[in-house]
Amino acid sequence: MHIFNITSPDQALRPVIQAKIDNLNKPKGSLGRLETLAMQICLAQQSLTPSLAHPCHLLLGGDHGIEREGVSVSPREVTWQQMVNFTKGGGGVNMFCRQHGFHLRVVDVGVDHDLSQIPGILNRKIAPGTRNFLHEPAMSPSEYERAISIGVELADACHAEGCCVLCVGEMGIANTSPSSIWMSLFCHIPLAECIGAGSGLNSTGVTHKGRVLTQALEHFNEQMPTPSAKDIIRYFGGFEMVVAIGAMLRAAELQMLVLVDGFIMTACALAACQLYPAAKDYMIFGHCGDESGHRRMLDALHAEPILSLGLRLGEGTGALCAFPIVDSAVRMMNEMNNFDNANITKYF
């Protein structure tokens, strides 16, 4: 079992960082959210001159047994088809990675299709999809540990290249279903208030999805009346989601910044923080999407997303779109002049 050593950043540097921010040639507090982002990043990196070196993006693919219950409008084969599409540069994630200079890794951790011969896809397949959590746990304890280990391996590979900011995205049909259940259990919110349309279910489809997930949760409660966070994650999670948790936790352990995307990745961040609360100090929440309940999940994490663009694509696209704002916060610290050097009277 992998044990992480994640510590909250030392706060001793906070007043020094604040003094530098306040002495930049601008009215005090006038750059708003950029200033709070800069504080978080400087604390995470324990530096007055933060950096965003070699940004990396992990795109993790996996299928879900619960998809067999008709909880998604998209068919299962879309997962592997999109994974192949990513290798050709044609996905939304490809466009944004190119735009913002991210090194993209496309990783098969549990797609129900043989992708081992496709150039450009890393093969870390645990199994061809999880089991159907309506009837049994999505993954075994050993599969859970394997998924965490793969996430650690991927984060380590990025860090070894000099990466200090990691973005994680997913591709997995039906992964809003486990996300909704995690949200309900970890945030103590009624399940019905956590279920949305996913990739485009109509009202009848959402009702059916609700019935299936309610029944699955009833079965789980009967089998595990006092579950741990790990039990909840393992019983419902997708392989791509648990790998994401492992990558987020390892990145936090290495004091890397973690860019968090939409509903599914916020659910993974939520789960990671259930295991190691200090991991949140390294997370920057990029986007609040359209999926029902996402805002409430962010509120439960006391997280303020940078953007709210109505995106619900996944893949990490919302977090990538937010990256220029993060970059602006870092540039503010490193490139903006101060009152003394600019020969401007400091009037506060």
Whether residue 3 is contained in a domain is answered as no
Active-site amino acid positions: 315
In terms of domains, do 272 and 287 share one? yes
Whether residue 62 is contained in a domain is answered as yes
d(CA 210, CA 196): 9
pLDDT by residue for the chain (348 residues), tens only, comes to 889 999 999 999 999 999 999 999 888 999 999 999 999 999 999 999 999 999 999 999 999 999 999 899 889 999 999 999 999 998 999 999 999 999 999 999 999 999 999 999 999 999 999 999 999 999 999 999 999 999 999 999 999 999 999 999 999 999 999 999 999 999 999 999 999 877 678 888 888 999 999 999 999 999 988 999 999 999 999 999 999 999 999 999 999 999 999 999 999 999 999 999 999 999 999 999 877 689 999 999 999 999 999 888 889 999 999 999 999 999 999 999 887 776 676 766
Question: Is residue 178 a contact partner of residue 170, using CB atoms and an 8 Å limit?
Answer: no
176-198 b/e (C-beta count within 10 Å ≥ 16 → b): bbbbbbbbbbbbebebeebbbbb
In terms of domains, do 45 and 67 share one? no
In terms of domains, do 212 and 189 share one? yes
30: containing domain: 11-50+333-342
The count of structural domains within the chain is 2
Whether residue 91 is contained in a domain is answered as yes
CATH of the domain at 286: 3.40.50.10210
d(CA 274, CA 6): 13
